Amino acid sequence: MSDELVIRHCAPTMANIKTANLFTGNFADRQEMLDEVRSLNNRLKNKGIRVLALQYEKGRGLIYVYRPGRLSKDLQDCKACQLLKQCGYPDLDENICLRHLIQKLEGEGEFPHEIGLFLGYPPDDVEGFINRRKSWKLCGFWKVYGDVEKASKQFERFRKCTDLYQKQWLMGKSIEHLTIAG
C-alpha cells in the first residue's frame, strides 16, 4: 500500500477534519496486508491515527484509517447509539463496536451500512441510507438526507484538503509530515 494511496483516500482524516476513511488496496496475501498495516500504524501512531485491516478477499484488502478519539465521540451521539443498537451492536465501546463491525464484514450477511457511523457521517444520513429512503437531497462523499448546507461545506473541505495533501506529497512531503497530531 503506497503512501500516495493513503493520502488520496485519507487526507481529511490525516488533517484531523474527519473521523475516518476507508479504502481498498491490492495485496499479494493477507500477511502482506497485515504487515503493511502494522508498518503504517508504527509510522502514524504518534499522530493519533490508527489503521485496521477490516477484510481481505481475493487479493484486495479493506483498510480503515481512523482517529480513535473522534470515533469514540461520534459513537456517543444519541442517534448513533440508537442505530448501533438496532444493528445488533452489543456494547457501544469503540473497540467492541469495531470488533463487531469486522465480524459483520467477514460474515455472509448484508454489507453493514452502519459503517457510515464509523466514518464520521451524520447519524441522520446513515439512518436514511440504512432505511433505503429514496429522498436523499445531495450525493457527495455520502448520500445526504439531512443538513445539505453543512454537508456541502464538508464535502468542499474534504476535496480541498485532498488536493492540497496530494500536491504537498508530490512536492516531497512525507506522510508523517502531512499528518496532523491530534
* pLDDT tens by residue, 17-65: 999 999 999 999 999 999 999 999 999 999 999 999 999 999 999 999 9
Please tell me the predicted confidence (pLDDT) of residue 122. 95
- Asked if residue 150 is part of any domain, the answer here is yes
- Asked if residue 105 is part of any domain, the answer here is yes
- Asked if residue 181 is part of any domain, the answer here is no
Please tell me the predicted confidence (pLDDT) of residue 92. 83
Q: DSSP 3-state assignment of 90?
A: coil
137 φ/ψ angles, rounded to the nearest 5 degrees:
-105, -25
Name the domain count of the chain: 1
Which residues of the chain register pLDDT less than 70?
133
- Give CA–CA dist 38/32, Å, rounded: 10
- Asked if residue 33 is part of any domain, the answer here is yes
- Asked if residue 67 is part of any domain, the answer here is yes
- Asked if residue 27 is part of any domain, the answer here is yes
- Asked if residue 26 is part of any domain, the answer here is yes
Q: How far is CA 135 from CA 19, 104, 123, in A?
A: 26, 27, 16
**Residues 100, 133, 21: CA angle, nearest 5 degrees:** 45
Structural element, H or E, at residue 100: helix 94-106
- Asked if residue 178 is part of any domain, the answer here is no
Q: Look up the domain containing 59 and give its range.
A: 3-173
